[in-house]
Amino acid sequence: MEHARPHRWQPPRLCLSSGKGGVGKTSLAVNLAYALADQGLRVLLVDGDLGLANVDVLLGLSATATIREVLAHDLDPRAALIQVAPGLAVLPAGSGVAELANLPPEDQRHLGRLLEGLCQDFQLVLVDTAAGLGPSVLWFNTWAQYNLVVVTPDPTSLTDAYALIKVLCRAHRRRRFLILPNQVDSEAEGQRTFATLSQVAARFLEVELDYLGSIPADPAVQQGVREQVPFVQVAPKSAAGRALTVLAARVLNSIATCQPPPAADQEEVGS
């Protein structure tokens, strides 16, 4: 069964990754999706952490079907969608399925076709990915036109973010990255974190890094995770909530003002 249909227009696709685990990708992806949906956009949030899905956990959802069943049984992915807010739908992923973390090329092609049919119902698509540089992480990054890299001031996070950018640049010809420092003590620390990463990148890689502003370390984020609610909704006036609203505007601006890479860049990633 084939669900994709011929089409001309596809919504922008923005993929969040980090290299290092636990830096805040899922928390930020979920809250960014809410903030963008609040601005009136129809947003699809894809849980691209195919082995250890977390979007459903952060939102307290119980998925009846996930990307795993969609792929295994060639289902229409609309059957797995969960509408979590008026403008926001989540496509959940399964947890504890090791082989999904390393999607082979035929599954990448299949998932790409299914997602492209689904995307036409939305105005913006966000993808939360797993940590690391595995094939599924790289595939989602090349499937998306826009690559957002979450980084913390921690040197290991900077090193891993650089490694991700390097692989996407050298092996997949990605040239532009949106950089989002998270868990910073101050905006100055966010700027320093960005400056450190961009200096190394400018020295060794042909890439353009854009600073998206930073998200402060804020207990409201942890509380949102524990209570399984988006902090941008329950604590919009918190430091992280305000930063998230600014981030949503910057993301929209970045997407509006930059040309996505050519479609030929959306390629298979060997396992």
Ligand X SMILES: Nc1ncnc2c1ncn2[C@@H]1O[C@H](COP(=O)(O)OP(=O)(O)OP(=O)(O)O)[C@@H](O)[C@H]1O
**Contact footprint for ligand X (CB under 6 A):** 18, 21-27, 49, 54, 131, 182-183, 215, 217-218, 221-222, 225, 240
What, of Mg ion, ligand X, none, does residue 120 touch, CB below 5 to 8 Å by kind?
none
Q: Answer yes or no: are the C-beta atoms of 269 and 174 closer than 8 Å.
A: no
Nearest distance, CB of residue 240 and ligand X, angstroms: 5
Q: Which is nearer to ligand X, 26 or 95 (CB)?
A: 26
Nearest distance, CB of residue 45 and ligand X, angstroms: 13
Q: Which is nearer to ligand X, 94 or 261 (CB)?
A: 94
Give the number of residues in contact with Mg ion, rule: CB under 5 A. Answer: 3
Q: Answer yes or no: are the C-beta atoms of 17 and 148 closer than 8 Å.
A: yes
Nearest distance, CB of residue 18 and Mg ion, angstroms: 9
Q: Does residue 157 interact with Mg ion by CB under 5 A?
A: no
Stretch that binds Mg ion, among 4-12, 19-27, 162-170, 208-216 (CB under 5 A): 19-27
Question: What's the Rg (C-alpha) of the chain?
Answer: 17
Residues 33-72 that bind Mg ion (CB under 5 A): 54
What, of Mg ion, ligand X, none, does residue 131 touch, CB below 5 to 8 Å by kind?
ligand X
Residues 20-39 that bind Mg ion (CB under 5 A): 25-26
Q: Answer yes or no: are the C-beta atoms of 247 and 60 closer than 8 Å.
A: no
Nearest distance, CB of residue 153 and Mg ion, angstroms: 19
What, of ligand X, Mg ion, none, does residue 116 touch, CB below 5 to 8 Å by kind?
none
Distance CA 148, CA 50 (A): 18
Distance CA 66, CA 140 (A): 16
What, of ligand X, Mg ion, none, does residue 266 touch, CB below 5 to 8 Å by kind?
none
Q: Which is nearer to ligand X, 116 or 220 (CB)?
A: 220
3-class SS at 141?
helix
What, of Mg ion, ligand X, none, does residue 23 touch, CB below 5 to 8 Å by kind?
ligand X
Rounded to the nearest angstrom, the gap between the alpha carbon of residue 44 and the centroid of all alpha carbons in its chain is 11
Distance CA 110, CA 14 (A): 19
What, of Mg ion, ligand X, none, does residue 144 touch, CB below 5 to 8 Å by kind?
none
Q: Answer yes or no: are the C-beta atoms of 124 and 14 closer than 8 Å.
A: yes
Using CB atoms, what's the residue nearest to Mg ion?
Answer: 26
Distance CA 241, CA 221 (A): 9
Rounded to the nearest angstrom, the gap between the alpha carbon of residue 203 and the centroid of all alpha carbons in its chain is 26
Distance CA 198, CA 192 (A): 10
Phi, psi dihedrals of residue 245, rounded to the nearest 5°: -65, -40
Distance CA 66, CA 82 (A): 10
Nearest distance, CB of residue 16 and ligand X, angstroms: 8
Q: Which is nearer to Mg ion, 32 or 169 (CB)?
A: 32
Which residue type is seen at 244? L
Residues within the interface to Mg ion (CB under 5 A):
25-26, 54
